Homo-oligomer: A and B are copies of this chain.
Amino acid sequence: MGPTIADVARAAGVSRSTVSYALSGKRTISDGTRRRVFEAIETLGFTANAGARALATRRTMVLGLLLRFETDEFAPAMLQYVLGITETARVNGYDVLLVTDHDGPAALRRITGSGMVDGVVLLDVLHHDPRVPVLRRAHQPGATVGLPADTEGLDVFDLDFGEAARRVVDHLTALGHREIVLISPPEQVFGRGGAYGWRFRDAAVERAALRGIRLHAHHGEADPPRIPAAVNAVLDARPGATALIVHNDATAATLPSVLAARGVSVPGDLSVVGLYSAGFARTFSLPYTFAESSPGPLGRMAVEALVHRIDPPAGTAGNAYPVTRFIAPDLIDRGSTRPAR
């Protein structure tokens, strides 16, 4: 299609290898030669063919990004991760192949087996995620955002959901709240193996027990139209609760209007704490105090780990042990909690 390295070499009056080395800088070139090469590149509009380069170098400079769009998950929350990942990839010279196939394991086999990518980021990882064993057997390194049961061979990054729960419960306990409602992710998410759901819930329950307070955990609804009724049912069932923790994106998104319709003022009648990202809060104009879920930093860390595995920096052991790293969530105070009456 376009000009090849041979065209450039001819135009510059040098060999193809000289053009290649001028491009890569892997050996010294005289100033005059370099100038002629780059002039030829410029006038011809040459860009090296990616397939040929990949074949020769065994590097595609592409990262795979695997997403799942379950209908009971809340898509806008995923966007924050995607942006952090594509941006970090570019900064490191990588493009991103976006894969949203319903059959994740097959898609993963396809892009790794064919060598389309130099590494893979798995998003929204389940406790027993069928993509994980496939990724482990692949010839490319893999990083996940989300904690699988077996982290063998993967670099794993996730929010410390247990710590998030403890901080949120402690924050409310310190304010004197003795009865708290928690709205967790939908039951289907737990059933499927969305471990972040029970990691947060179980830690919250345990902490509440330790503090001697009552914590009622309920699943939220997945389908937006059903959320208002579900929230109302939960609050009706727990009339003594003075605080609400929302670990459920879809519920958080619609909570302001549900509470307004119910005539509940925050924090006057109810203290509210969420768990989501600042970007999410901005998108949905959520006015609540929240534990920051840090999608940007998590995506960034996953990509950087991948990049280091693909190309270990000089002086680093290329075969360093896999890493599992948790981010401790910040609690961002927006004033939606106050001392219990």
Contact = CB atoms under 8 A, between A and B. Distances in A.
Contact of A74 (B51, B95, B114, B283): B283
A100 interface: yes
A47 B109 contact: yes
Contact of A256 (B52, B97, B257): B257
Contacts of A101: 90
A86 B100 contact: yes
A52 B50 CA distance: 10
A130 to B, nearest CB: 17
A49 B55 contact: yes
Interface stretch (A10-18, A75-83, A157-165, A188-196): A75-83
Nearest to A98: B98
A116 interface: yes
A162 to B, nearest CB: 29
A96 B114 CA distance: 15
A1 interface: yes
A51 B109 CA distance: 16
Given A98-B98, A100-B86, A283-B76, A1 B115 contact: yes
A101 B101 CA distance: 24
Interface stretch (A58-66, A290-298, A310-318): A58-66
Interface residues of A, number: 56
Contact of A227 (B51, B115, B253, B285): B285
A284 interface: yes
A226 to B, nearest CB: 10
A2 interface: yes
Given A110-B47, A116-B50, A139-B2, A98 B261 contact: no
Interface in A89-114: 90, 95-101, 109-111, 113-114
12 contacts: A49-B114, A50-B54, A51-B52, A51-B60, A65-B98, A69-B83, A75-B79, A76-B76, A76-B283, A86-B98, A95-B111, A98-B98
